[in-house]
Each structure stands twice: as C-alpha cells, then as structure tokens.
Amino acid sequence: MIRLAILVCVGLVAFVPFGVGSPVDGGLAGKQDIGPGQSYRVSRSFRAGERAAVLALVQSSRVDSAAVNLSITVYDKKSTVVAQDKAVGNGQHDFAVAFWYPPRDGEYVIEVNSTSGFAVPVWVAVK
C-alpha cells in the first residue's frame, strides 16, 4: 500500500502541471519584422489571476542594437494600459519584457513597437 501511495505521488508530480498558466489558447512565439513607424499587434485571451508575460527581443546580430528601441504595451478591452515596458530617457532598449496578472478573464491586446528608422527582426513570445 505504501508503494502505491509513493507511486501515485511521484506520478502526480511528474505528469500533472502545477499551474495552468496564461493565455487560454496556449503560448505564442515567432519572428516578426517590425518596420519603421509600424507595430506588431496581437490579441489573446488570458485567464484571471494567472501570470501573463510578453517578451520581445531583437533577433539579429547584424542589427546595431544601439539604434533599436523596443517597447511593449498591453491593453485590456477598454483600451486601458495594464502592462508596459519602454526605454526611459535616451536609453537604448533592444529587448522588452512585460508581466501582469489579469484581473479578469478576457481579451488583451499586445503591441510591440520599434522606434528605429529601419525594419527590425524581432522575436516575440507570449506566455
């Protein structure tokens, strides 16, 4: 009987996730080319109270990271900013990360911007 209990505990730890996580439809990752004056926008559904995260990273060693300035802004359905990461002052920002805990289930719009004067390959991940 003790062996069965230990086997069940090991099985639960090994095969059952500790948290479901956000977003509802699963994660999203991929490369996006963001041109000058353009932004990448995507809408995803997130679960209330579960951590949500967005990461944007310049994906090329050929791009001068000192000339790139990435930012992430996350909006709820009322267009209220719920999370944001942007460069402060004249600082350069070749990556951006935003975390938040959605207060309620719903759609959130994620916007990644680049203020560089040229097209930038950016890797974007939503979890």
Write down the pTM of the prediction. Answer: 0.75
Structural domains in the chain (count): 1
Closest alpha carbon to 98 in 44, 57, 53: 53
Residue 13 forms part of a structural domain: no
Output the domain CATH number for residue 66. Answer: 2.60.120.380
Q: What is the DSSP letter of 4?
A: H
**DSSP-derived secondary structure for 23-79:** -TT--EEEEEEE-TT-EEEEEEEE-TTS-EEEEEEE--TTS-GGG-BEEEEEE-TT-
Residue 62 forms part of a structural domain: yes
pLDDT tens per residue, range 68-126: 788 999 999 999 999 999 876 666 678 899 999 998 899 999 999 888 778 888 899 99
Residue 30 forms part of a structural domain: yes
Residue located via tokens 């209990």: 5
Residue 16 forms part of a structural domain: no
Residue 3 forms part of a structural domain: no
Residue 9 forms part of a structural domain: no
Range of the domain at 91: 21-126
d(CA 48, CA 68): 33
Between 64 and 10, the more confident residue is 64
How remote is the C-alpha of 51 from its chain's centroid? 10
> Is residue 18 over pLDDT 50?
no
Mean pLDDT of the region 8-35? 61
Per-residue confidence at 2, pLDDT binned at 50, 70, 90? very low
> Is residue 56 over pLDDT 80?
yes
Residue 121 forms part of a structural domain: yes
Residue 15 forms part of a structural domain: no
Taking the CA atoms of 24, 26, 27 and 31 in sequence, report the sign of the dihedral they define.
negative
d(CA 28, CA 48): 18
